[in-house]
């Protein structure tokens, strides 16, 4: 493998990057070229105002074999190399490399970092790596071989719902109490002669639709604090990039002509990824968020999606829909 260091996403062809991702150890929206480029341009919505991009590529006979999308920043009191996308808004991250090439790529990557020291790093500090990723074992082994320390800890749960058919089949697999709660809330909204409509955006009016989403999100105190001007700009550009690449899935629920709930998702890799959502507080007693999510799950099952991924967070409602936990980890390696 021949390694090279790049400082701008334009130096790597998007088609080659995404094709490699498609056969990589982890194929997720947050590692797509368009997402990574957008995240870096806005520094994660202002999360990393002072950072240095470090895209390390490996090629074999000019064929792209691996990409380590990294950036250097001060973190936890030391100069660290983090996975681009860290930490707050990219739920799954990893190296971009096929399983068969992973050991050689990690070995070559660590060798390059040890010998050339391009950014005077002190630690590799990698967040949001799935606990099932083969990268973790390979990195642990390579660190041990070099006399570097390695530690790993569970960082966040990432609940998901497996899907295998229509909505009735999904409900039948839930505990009786959970099944009845979902049905009761859907029935209550549709009773009383209300006009109810849910739909998925075609992206033709995306700017205005993102404004509507932000308005609903901001009605929640915690989300209002999250939605800084920089973060709004970041999320707009993420939605634009996802729409242009064909994996944006933005859904709305209207009650009597008024927006009651919205849900920003990604439709990628035969699953729906639940990225963010908002609810109109004026309709809160009618549980519009629950009803919209129920419609989303029904659509996903009927259209052959394997699962709905809630991604990071252990909010109670996820488990009331029958979500199952899996986890992402933080892996830290200290150089000798």
Write out the chain's pLDDT in tens, 336 residues: 999 999 999 999 999 999 999 999 999 999 999 999 999 999 999 999 999 999 999 999 999 999 999 999 999 999 999 999 999 999 999 999 999 999 999 999 999 999 876 778 999 999 999 999 999 999 999 999 999 999 999 999 999 999 988 899 999 999 999 999 999 999 999 987 899 999 999 999 999 999 999 999 999 999 999 999 999 999 999 999 999 999 999 999 999 999 999 999 999 999 999 999 999 999 999 999 999 999 999 999 999 999 999 999 999 999 999 999 999 999 999 975
Q: Considering only CA atoms, which of 114, 148, 122, 152 is closest in space to residue 136?
A: 152
pTM over 0.85: yes
Instruction: Specify the CATH class of 160-309 in words.
Output: alpha beta
| DSSP line for 127-163 | EEEETT-HHHHHHHHHHHHHT-EEEEEEEEE--EEE-
Q: Is-same-fold flag (2-156+328-334; 160-309)?
A: yes
The CATH superfamily label for domain 2-156+328-334 reads Gcn5-related N-acetyltransferase (GNAT) (3.40.630.30)
Q: Following CA atoms 76, 80, 86, 88 in sequence, which dihedral angle do they give, to the nearest 10 degrees?
A: 10
- The domain segmentation of the chain, as residue ranges, is 2-156+328-334, 160-309
pLDDT in tens, 98-140: 999 999 999 999 999 998 767 789 999 999 999 999 999 999 9
């Amino acid at each position: 493998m021949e390694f090279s260091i790049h400082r701008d996403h334009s130096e790597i062809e998007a088609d080659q990057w995404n094709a490699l991702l498609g056969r990589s150890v982890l194929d997720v929206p947050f590692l797509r070229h368009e997402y990574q480029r957008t995240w870096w341009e806005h520094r994660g919505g202002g999360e990393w105002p002072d950072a240095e991009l470090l895209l390390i590529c490996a090629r074999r006979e000019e064929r792209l074999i691996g990409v380590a999308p990294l950036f250097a920043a001060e973190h936890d009191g030391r100069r660290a190399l983090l996975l681009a996308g860290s930490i707050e808004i990219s739920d799954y991250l990893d190296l971009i490399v096929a399983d068969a090439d992973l050991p050689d790529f990690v070995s070559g990557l660590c060798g390059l970092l040890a010998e050339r020291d391009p950014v005077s790093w002190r630690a590799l500090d990698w967040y949001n790596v799935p606990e099932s990723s083969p990268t973790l074992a390979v990195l642990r082994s390579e660190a041990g071989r070099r006399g570097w320390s390695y530690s790993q800890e569970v960082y966040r749960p990432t609940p998901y719902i497996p899907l295998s058919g229509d909505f009735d089949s999904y409900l039948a697999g839930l505990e009786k109490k959970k099944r009845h709660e979902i049905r009761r809330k859907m029935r209550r909204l549709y009773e009383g002669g209300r006009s109810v409509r849910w739909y998925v955006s075609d992206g033709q009016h995306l700017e205005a639709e993102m404004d509507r989403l932000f308005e609903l999100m901001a009605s929640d105190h915690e989300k209002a604090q999250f939605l800084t001007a920089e973060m709004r700009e970041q999320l707009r550009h993420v939605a634009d990039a996802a729409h242009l690449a064909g994996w944006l899935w933005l859904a709305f629920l209207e009650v009597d002509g008024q927006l009651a709930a919205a849900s920003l998702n990604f439709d990628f890799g035969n699953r729906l990824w639940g990225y963010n959502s908002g609810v109109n507080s004026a309709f809160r007693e009618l549980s519009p968020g629950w009803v919209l999510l129920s419609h989303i799950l029904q659509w996903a099952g009927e259209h052959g999606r394997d699962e709905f991924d809630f991604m990071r967070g252990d909010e109670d409602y996820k488990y009331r829909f029958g979500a199952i936990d899996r986890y992402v980890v933080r892996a830290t390696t200290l150089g000798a």
